[in-house]
Amino acid sequence: MTPFHHYLPITEELFHDGFYVTGAGRSQIKPGAPYPSEPHPAFYQFTWTHGRIFPEFALILITSGQGVFESKQVGRRPVKPGDVILLFPGIWHRYRPDPRTGWTEKWIQFNGEFPHKLWDRHILSSDRQIISPDNLCEIEAALDSLLDRIEQCPGFNSLRYALQVSHVIDLVIDSKPSPASMIRTVAPLAKDELVTAAENYIWTHSQLAISVRNVADHLKVSRRTLERRFGSALGRTVLEEVTRCRFNRAERLLRETDLPVKTVVYMAGFGRAENMRQAFTKRLQLSPRAYRAKVRIDC
């Protein structure tokens, strides 16, 4: 198994479609190794001491080893091979492998109106965050198919990924799924590989104080070349993509969590509150606090 983790770019269209994938990965944590073993954007990073409040949903399959999970809703629970951990927006949680055994994990993150409806109707329940399904082989095969596709096309995101996630969810909550529920997918449209690599770097590192020059240097191209090809492929500048990524994450944190605005500024990567305020005012004609108040009323 080749470890990887990736956070996908999310278009405005996907954001408003009602179901989208935000990240995926797999890793093998060896006995005694620190956890998480790799750095993730501050938006997702956590420690056992402090735990984490997530702004979206996640599904984590543990295929070997054992450990422990704890959340505000269910308390502390043991985790064994074949267990699925479900994470929900706004609910404090933490988890880690047993240092004596380590574990192997495969995971997907997703959000949107559709999973919220599943939650509201108790199809997904925050009172049931550890599931031990009896159709593990089918779940792992479906999850591997999605992870392989994301690893091969890291700059691509679409509703078809969300369809594959819905299939995995269906397998988890239904121990005897119908073979007819298998979902077919198609290959994405070709895209400039340099642009794909730039998007990958931005959506994985935008919590840092990165500049267009940093992106160009990472990809070993001139800034002019990067800007030209990025604009040709996507119709926007590299800096606009960095801001779009940060805005997207801040919007989800404000909507899905009660974290202080100053914490959202840091986790989304804006650096300064004024930078985030300007981004929200430009896009929504609302300050971050006004946006949070509005979506809470609308809900």
Please provide the average confidence, as pLDDT, over all residues in the chain: 87
- Listed residues 130, 161, 181: the one ending a domain: 181
Q: What is the DSSP letter of 82?
A: T
Instruction: Please indicate, yes or no, whether residues 27 and 155 belong to a single structural domain of this protein.
Output: yes
Neighbours of 81 (CB within 10 A): 15
Contacts for 85 with CB less than 8 Å, ≥ 6 apart: 58, 59, 60, 62, 69, 79, 95, 129, 130
Please give the tally of structural domains in the chain.
2
Are residues 135 and 81 located together in one domain of the fold? yes
Q: Is residue 187 in some structural domain?
A: no
Which range of residues forms the domain containing residue 111?
Answer: 4-181
The CA distances from residue 164 to 88, 160, 167, 252, in Å, are 19, 6, 5, 22
Residues 26 and 138 in one domain: yes
First vs last C-alpha separation in the chain: 42
Residue 56, in any domain of the structure: yes
The pLDDT, as a whole number, for residue 6 is 87
The winner for highest mean pLDDT among 73-77, 187-191, 267-271 is: 73-77
Examine residue 170 and state whether it is found in any structural domain, yes or no.
yes
Whole-number pLDDT of residue 187: 45
| Whether residue 207 is found in the same domain as residue 171 | no
Q: Do 202 and 176 share a structural domain?
A: no
- Average pLDDT (264-278) is 91
Let me know whether 288 and 245 are in one domain: yes
Q: Are residues 163 and 30 in the same domain?
A: yes
Long-range (24+ apart) CB contacts under 8 A made by 11-17 are 11/157, 14/157, 14/158, 14/159, 15/248, 17/112, 17/159, 17/162
Q: Whole-prediction pTM value?
A: 0.71
On whether both 165 and 53 belong to a single domain, the answer is: yes
Q: Per-residue pLDDT tens for 141-162?
A: 999 999 999 888 777 788 889 9
Is residue 186, in this structure, part of any structural domain at all?
Answer: no
Specify the pLDDT at position 298. Answer: 62
pLDDT above 80 for 96: yes
Q: Which domain-ending residue is among 157, 181, 205?
A: 181
Q: Please give the single-letter amino acid code of residue 46.
A: F
Question: Does 216 share its domain with 261?
Answer: yes
Q: What is the CATH number of the domain that holds 278?
A: 1.10.10.60
Does 173 share its domain with 225? no
pLDDT, residue 275, reads 93
Q: Are residues 144 and 33 in the same domain?
A: yes
The pLDDT of residue 186 is above 50 = no
Mean pLDDT over 188-217 rounds to 82
Cβ pair 2, 142 in contact under 8 A: no
| pLDDT of 54 | 86
Q: Residue 137 has which token pair?
A: 């082989």
pLDDT tens digits, one per residue of 108-132: 999 988 999 999 888 999 989 999 9
Q: What is the pLDDT of residue 151?
A: 87
Bridge partners (DSSP) of residue 86 are: 59
Last residue of one domain, picked from the residues 161, 181, 201: 181
> Are 167 and 201 found together in one domain?
no
